[in-house]
Amino acid sequence: MKKFAQFFKLVLLLVCLSFIIQPIGVQAHSGSIGYSELSIKENVIHYDLYLLADLVGGLLGVDEDQDGYLTENEVNRSKEDIQQLVMNNLFITSSGEKPAVTINKIEMAERWNYQMFHIDLEFGFDKPVTEYEVQYNIFLTALI
């Protein structure tokens, strides 16, 4: 009986340790696909962001007639909403500095056989970019 108690304590200890040393998981893009392409030239970061059209469209109600297709007029009417989604959920800093952000265009594009929104952004800093940090919260689901 004493050996069983020791064995039980050892198993219990190992189970507890496995829970303690488990890394905390984070998920992003709750089932979506997106692409980010960044390039740096002096004090400007050029950011091409591609977001899945049906996910953004569903979130923002872009497909007004709900026929499963996004028309050019529907996309044009939703550009301000898409801009707000991006501006409220995508942040870049360089050496702690917050940049001036310009959205050059929002358009439909095909990428890897997916219909996507292509958002062309520029982040302008006062000094040349030597390091940067991206905080991307678009469609982020985190464990709270």
Is residue 25, in this structure, part of any structural domain at all? no
17 pLDDT more than 60: no
Is residue 142, in this structure, part of any structural domain at all? no
Token output for 11? 């198993």
Is residue 58, in this structure, part of any structural domain at all? yes
Q: How many domains does the chain have?
A: 1
Owner of token pair 């049906």: 54
Is residue 12, in this structure, part of any structural domain at all? no
With contact defined as beta carbons under 8 Å apart, do 27 and 141 qualify? yes
Is residue 17, in this structure, part of any structural domain at all? no
Per-residue confidence (pLDDT) for residue 144, from 0 to 100: 41
What's the whole-number average pLDDT of the chain?
82
Buried b / exposed e over 104-118, threshold 16 CB at 10 Å, is: eebeeeeeeebebbb
Is residue 121, in this structure, part of any structural domain at all? yes
Owner of token pair 């996004």: 70
Q: Residue 132 belongs to a domain with what CATH number?
A: 2.60.40
With contact defined as beta carbons under 8 Å apart, do 125 and 43 qualify? yes
Is residue 144, in this structure, part of any structural domain at all? no
For residue 83, what are the domain limits? 30-136
Is residue 38, in this structure, part of any structural domain at all? yes
Per-residue confidence (pLDDT) for residue 102, from 0 to 100: 94
User: In whole angstroms, how far apart are CA 10 and each of 1, 20, 42, 70, 71?
Assistant: 14, 15, 59, 60, 64
Q: Which pLDDT tens digit goes with each residue over 78-135?
A: 999 999 999 999 999 999 899 999 999 999 999 888 888 999 999 999 999 999 999 9
